[in-house]
Structure 1
């Protein structure tokens, strides 16, 4: 891997490109208020005669991307949990794969249960995660600035420590795009809850921009602070916990207790993120099945008579995540390929609205007095598209050299398998049942809500949902 200056270049460059992408989402969200996210935005912007053929793979990519995002989030929580165990008891061996798998399955199961039976408590838990993140950022930024031995500015901003094996530092820095984008996978997450928000066309664009701008500021400050706190790269990368940032905190503060507290904060933050991704993938799956895009669509859209929640739309992706975790027991390379393919799936899905707006010159974008970029529209769309293409290319490249069977990047192979599944789904059900929406008027308000909706008792078998007064 490459360290030092590439961290800052990738972080700043990726954030600026992602801000352009989120601005495109905000523009679409101000006009469309459905739970399909980037997939539905693309649907509404594609000319009708091409809509089914283009929207179908985009819906699949967005859905699979969120499933793999959730798998990655569960894996992060599992890794942090074992890292905490190692910090508390250095004698325990956390290297066996089955230990990580057991924790991974436990996290996945807890997210499934909360999504199914404790859905009203999710907003409170998400708020807890936000507070934990804010507290951890402020406290440990101050602690590292005060106590950590400081690296010189040249090693932070100029020097590159390249352990990729490639001869070009520039190419190694380019490979860092995968890591930098991997931290920003939830770009359209709020959009999938659009049908559960009051005034979504007003609130949703603001939420999207507040999230990405705050993430940019916090992330930039944090990575610079960490950069100045790294004085021994080899000690950090060879940490017994398997989590380099924990070793940075432990060495920087000189306190094992500080590292343990930081690890707890990270667990809270990432566990609530895993819970959020579980909710999002179930909502995206429901929206896509509602359009006839998945297998067994009738079952996936059927809601429980008691909870009014779609049991199988919540359960199916959790089962897929469990199977992805099972792969890790047999091959870490295969597991990394599945989880790593989230980047490819997501970036294609995220970049598609900007590409369509660029090609069609926004002809199908409804007129609105909000979120209009004027002469800046084309540059914003163009940056989003070029960044998406770059990330797709980089995401399938081997991350180290020389390439062997153990370090080979199998993402391209996974994408071929996923493409086969899409074709099979199209042949079995999609070509008959898939009917992408033409506008969001008939869709708004029929997704089961987290906490702000209730079943309309007068709706009979249709079970239409109405919003509670806010």
Structure 2
């Protein structure tokens, strides 16, 4: 079917299309934008306003990345497992693998710019008959990462707020229920903000991300400039041989394994760069802007995150004192070791505000993922979660579902530090498992049959994707190791990541084999087209609500690559 005089069909778009050449659902009264055409070639119609640009998309993902609050929230792992060595050259090693994952993901995003993101890519690229299962596992793993992001961020922010209160008033000792109630309040506030119209969200996150970046620069400058180590009869900065060469024995494993275990902080901190993928349907020029935003976020985060690691590594006084402080927040304890109280409170204030912006970005990204999966009936009661609010044109129901689940997860606070710490390790593992499934399929099963978008890695695509897959395969078991082994290991010291992440994923797999394989057929297209085998498309009509893998539809396994 012709697409007026501008081009012969949407199938000419440089994307992985699920429509045959010439088979384009089209309304002659509607002028398709380039982004509409790309999305139509993937089998969807545009439902959101495209009010995100490359910059505003980058702002959301950088806010989700939240280097300063992320670092502050995960300092316990980076410093506690391997000391300053893990924070310096350990960060560089981790970033090599992470950057490969980001570039491989960006290539998929350019080819398939939908809000379903990795879930959609896994379904399209999987071998025949395996598309729905690949989408099911990828989707649920990614959702686990997304739904734990805002609670873990907001927990870290609440702990910092209460630590600041304790610094100001030493008589105050934060209780678990104080942290819980404050975190719930922040979750509700974020949910209200995340239900706003897209244009407001873009502006709010642009401001928040700008502050996040400026706060990061200010803190990187303030820490070395404001340290009072010399007043404590210490050199202004620790010697490089000590910073780079000493591995703190924070685990029962050999030093090399301890360094790898410290990567949890890097991986969790750097797990927000997939946000542009999920915002692709709200971004203009998505098949170029979105992948560029992914790579820009990862590269910028990696460089500036390393600078932050360095200034802390060179100024920390006593690692054990940081980890065992009564303040209950390692970053606050570190600041009190090497800064004045006034400077400590100033840096904590910047970190808290940046963290609030980060939690907001996490809530937005998670709601788009929930909407995309509910659109394909992945969840129970999906008909409610896939509704777009007619006033704000945003998936408000999905926002509040994630809020409710997040509040339930926050009950882990009452299980102790290691229990709530599982939120961070789950976020790291769940995200990177979901990131890597479609990359693995693209590298080892699809190979040269992959149809790249305008942003691609060329001949380096296969090697980079293979390295990314190997890195994640190494890190998943490493991040499940407890820091204590043998007779000293007690339930209180156990790494509960296997149970808290592996348990739900095991149930999801059982659900698939028992029931879901009968009704879940992978991503749907919500445009009627001739490949569904239901006769001619009536000119001028665009119909909704059809399963791409039902009847004679294309399905993930029949997609064109």
* TM-score (normalised: structure 1): 0.87
Give the match for residue 128 of structure 1. Answer: 207
Q: Which moved more, 1:37-46 or 1:215-224?
A: 37-46
Q: 1:324 aligns with which of 398, 406, 409?
A: 409
Q: 2:154 aligns with which of 74, 77, 81?
A: 74
State how 1:108-147 maps to structure 2 within 5 Å.
108-117=187-196, 120-147=199-226
Correspondence 1:422 to 2:501:
no
| Alpha-carbon displacement from aligned partner over 1:136-193 (angstroms, at most 9, x marks no partner) | 3333333333343210111111011212233x22221121122221211213111111
Structure 2 CA distance for aligned equivalents of residues 373 and 41 of structure 1: 18
Give the match for residue 440 of structure 2. Answer: 355
Q: Which moved more, 1:266-275 or 1:146-155?
A: 146-155
Q: Which moved more, 1:1-10 or 1:64-73?
A: 1-10
3-state DSSP class of the match of 1:30? helix
Whether contact under 8 Å (2:194, 2:396) holds in the other structure is: no
Give the match for residue 405 of structure 1. Answer: 491
| Distance change in 2, residues 1:439/1:47 (3 Å) | farther
Whether contact under 8 Å (1:74, 1:271) holds in the other structure is: yes
Structure 1 CA distance for aligned equivalents of residues 458 and 95 of structure 2: 19
3-state DSSP class of the match of 2:88? helix
Q: Which moved more, 1:269-278 or 1:336-345?
A: 336-345
Give the match for residue 65 of structure 2. Answer: none
Give the match for residue 151 of structure 1. Answer: 238
Post-superposition shift, 1:212? 0.9
State how 1:245-256 maps to structure 2 within 5 Å.
245-253=331-339, 255-256=340-341
Q: Which runs of 5+ in 2 are unaligned?
A: 1-80, 228-235, 530-539, 546-561
Structure 1 CA distance for aligned equivalents of residues 222 and 388 of structure 2: 49
Structure 1 CA distance for aligned equivalents of residues 528 and 458 of structure 2: 28
Structure 2 CA distance for aligned equivalents of residues 319 and 210 of structure 1: 32
Structure 2 CA distance for aligned equivalents of residues 130 and 304 of structure 1: 26
Whether contact under 8 Å (1:292, 1:429) holds in the other structure is: no
3-state DSSP class of the match of 2:147? helix
Correspondence 1:365 to 2:450:
yes
Give the match for residue 351 of structure 2. Answer: 266
Q: Which moved more, 1:78-87 or 1:209-218?
A: 78-87
Give the match for residue 164 of structure 1. Answer: 251
Structure 2 CA distance for aligned equivalents of residues 179 and 83 of structure 1: 20
Give the match for residue 383 of structure 1. Answer: 467
Structure 2 CA distance for aligned equivalents of residues 370 and 313 of structure 1: 30
Give the match for residue 448 of structure 1. Answer: none
Give the match for residue 375 of structure 2. Answer: 290
User: Aligned residues, how many?
Assistant: 445
State how 1:196-345 maps to structure 2 within 5 Å.
196-253=282-339, 255-345=340-430
Give the match for residue 450 of structure 1. Answer: none
Structure 2 CA distance for aligned equivalents of residues 129 and 459 of structure 1: 42
Give the match for residue 27 of structure 2. Answer: none
| Alpha-carbon displacement from aligned partner over 1:221-246 (angstroms, at most 9, x marks no partner) | 11111111123323333334333333
| Distance change in 2, residues 1:207/1:359 (3 Å) | same
* TM-score (normalised: structure 2): 0.74
| Distance change in 2, residues 1:248/1:419 (3 Å) | closer
Correspondence 1:57 to 2:167:
no
Post-superposition shift, 1:438? 7.6
| Distance change in 2, residues 1:345/1:138 (3 Å) | closer
State how 1:28-107 maps to structure 2 within 5 Å.
28-94=108-174, 96-107=175-186
| Distance change in 2, residues 1:385/1:367 (3 Å) | closer
Structure 1 CA distance for aligned equivalents of residues 347 and 207 of structure 2: 15
| Alpha-carbon displacement from aligned partner over 1:400-428 (angstroms, at most 9, x marks no partner) | 34321101012222234213442465478
| Distance change in 2, residues 1:286/1:427 (3 Å) | farther
| Distance change in 2, residues 1:371/1:10 (3 Å) | same
Correspondence 1:6 to 2:86:
yes
| Alpha-carbon displacement from aligned partner over 1:345-383 (angstroms, at most 9, x marks no partner) | 111101112211221243452244532331x22220111
Post-superposition shift, 1:114? 0.9
Alignment RMSD, CA only?
2.7
Give the match for residue 195 of structure 1. Answer: 281
Structure 2 CA distance for aligned equivalents of residues 9 and 381 of structure 1: 23
Q: Which runs of 5+ in 1 are unaligned?
A: 444-457, 464-470
Q: Which moved more, 1:430-439 or 1:412-421?
A: 430-439
Give the match for residue 265 of structure 2. Answer: 179
Structure 2 CA distance for aligned equivalents of residues 364 and 111 of structure 1: 43
Whether contact under 8 Å (1:44, 1:439) holds in the other structure is: no
Post-superposition shift, 1:122? 2.8
